[in-house]
């Protein structure tokens, strides 16, 4: 039986629009990343909560191949919001922990050029924190939300994410690490229904787990993507279950990398560096292409791209400052990706 979500119809009924920054993007060296923009804005859309979901190892080609029939929830989110299946990972590496740390810090990877410095992808305790890896202070979306008085939570399905709890211990109000994606999703659903939080970051590892075991884009992998679509649906349904919550919550979905065959470690391969990026919620244009909405971002085609280009592609590293922008908060101090908070999700911004 085909799964269906009423998200598109529900979000289409919300008639408020976001007010975003209008400045053009500039190359990293052309602006000061030491401090956030001066004045926070009120989130005119009424958004008070963001759920950011990373689907580890999701090759966007899987969504095209499976279609709406087998991935209805992700397709509903694309229909209800703004999206692209041609976003980019960080330039340096296409592996899990470095890219996820970029998502929450808004930084590139390489520490010597202002990045967060997390180049490893395991549970090592040295360096013990992101700050130690970077060689100096590193703030995150968690610290920005917490300092504004909002509550935060991390739900992850790999133990290596304990790095974040060590790095920002006072800014994560809840940390749940469960290897079983179904069990983890149930924790997210309970939390959504019971707690008022400004930010939840959810990491689901199922596509990556099966990709490594059976091959990325294999039949087993595609079945895993279908299954994780259902888990996303459970989270979406928990948001939808209360009209007030649905009218004040934005959902962001992206990935740390793609993959094909046995691995995703070659950062030069388009199958690894090409990812999906979806945002849905109050004030987000339904069915919009993110590149059509953003003249100051450039669709990279098949190119890998670098950080030196003036017009950047949409990146997974845009998550932190997009989430803060949706909440009406300034960018993460010291960040680079979407620092000007000019990634628009509506043509009226």
User: What residue spans of 71-118 are helical by DSSP H?
Assistant: 72-80, 96-105
Residue-wise pLDDT tens digits, 152-176:
999 999 999 999 999 999 999 999 9
Give the pLDDT band of residue 33 (cuts 50, 70, 90). very low
Q: Which helix (H) or strand (E) holds 4?
A: none
Q: Which residues contact 96 (CB under 8 A, 6 or more apart)?
A: 56, 121, 158, 160, 208, 256, 257
Strand, helix or coil for residue 104: helix
In DSSP terms, which residues pair with 279 in a beta bridge? 82, 252
Give me the pLDDT at residue 45, please: 78
Residue 38 has pLDDT above 60, yes or no: no
DSSP class of 260? B
Domain ranges of the chain: 7-326
Distance of alpha carbon 53 from alpha carbon 252, whole angstroms:
6
Lowest mean pLDDT among 40-44, 63-67, 72-76, 254-258: 40-44
Distance of alpha carbon 183 from alpha carbon 178, whole angstroms:
7
Are 192 and 174 within 8 A, CB to CB? no
Lowest mean pLDDT among 29-33, 87-91, 149-153, 332-336: 29-33
Give the pLDDT band of residue 86 (cuts 50, 70, 90). very high
Burial of 196 (0-12, 13-18, 19+ CB in 10 A): exposed
Residue 252 has pLDDT above 80, yes or no: yes
Q: Which residues contact 345 (CB under 8 A, 6 or more apart)?
A: 18, 20, 81, 82, 279, 283, 284, 285, 288, 290, 293, 322, 326
Q: How many CA atoms lie within 13 A of 66 on its CB side?
A: 27
Distance of alpha carbon 222 from alpha carbon 336, whole angstroms:
34
Give the pLDDT band of residue 304 (cuts 50, 70, 90). very high
- The proportion of the chain whose per-residue pLDDT surpasses 70, expressed as a percent, equals 88
Residue 19 has pLDDT above 50, yes or no: no
Q: Which residues contact 219 (CB under 8 A, 6 or more apart)?
A: none
Average pLDDT of the chain to the nearest whole number: 91
Residue-wise pLDDT tens digits, 66-77:
999 999 999 999
In the chain, how many H helices and how many E strands?
A: 14, 8
For residues 246-264, average pLDDT: 98
Class in CATH terms, 7-326 = alpha beta
């Amino acid at each position: 039986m085909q799964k269906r979500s009423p998200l598109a119809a529900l979000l289409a009924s919300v008639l408020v629009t976001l007010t975003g920054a209008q400045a053009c993007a500039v190359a990293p060296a052309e602006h000061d990343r030491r401090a956030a923009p001066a004045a926070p804005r009120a989130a005119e859309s009424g958004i008070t909560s963001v759920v950011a979901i990373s689907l580890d190892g999701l090759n966007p080609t899987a969504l095209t191949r499976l279609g709406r029939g087998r991935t209805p929830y992700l397709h509903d989110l694309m229909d209800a919001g703004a999206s692209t299946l041609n976003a980019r990972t960080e330039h340096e590496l296409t592996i899990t922990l470095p890219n996820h740390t970029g998502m929450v810090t808004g930084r590139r990877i390489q520490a010597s050029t202002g990045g967060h410095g997390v180049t490893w992808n395991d549970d090592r305790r040295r360096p013990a924190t992101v700050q130690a890896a970077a060689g100096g202070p590193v703030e995150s979306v968690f610290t920005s939300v917490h300092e504004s008085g909002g509550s935060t939570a991390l739900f992850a399905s790999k133990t290596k994410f304990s790095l974040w709890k060590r790095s920002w211990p006072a800014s994560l109000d809840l940390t749940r690490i469960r290897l079983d994606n179904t069990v983890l999703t149930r924790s997210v659903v309970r939390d959504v229904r019971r707690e008022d939080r400004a930010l939840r970051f959810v990491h689901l590892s199922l596509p990556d787990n099966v990709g490594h075991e059976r091959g990325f884009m294999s039949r087993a992998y595609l079945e895993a993507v279908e299954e994780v679509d259902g888990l996303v649906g459970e989270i979406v349904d928990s948001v939808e279950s209360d009209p007030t919550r649905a009218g004040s919550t934005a959902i962001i979905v992206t990935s740390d990398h793609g993959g094909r065959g046995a691995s995703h470690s070659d950062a030069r391969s388009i199958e690894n560096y090409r990812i999906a990026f979806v945002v849905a919620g109050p004030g987000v244009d339904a069915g919009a292409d993110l590149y059509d909405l953003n003249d100051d971002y450039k669709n990279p085609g098949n190119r890998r791209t670098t950080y030196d280009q003036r017009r950047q592609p949409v990146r997974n590293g845009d998550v932190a400052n997009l989430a803060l922008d949706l909440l009406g908060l300034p960018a993460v101090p010291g960040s680079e990706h979407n620092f000007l908070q000019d990634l628009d999700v509506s043509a009226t911004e």
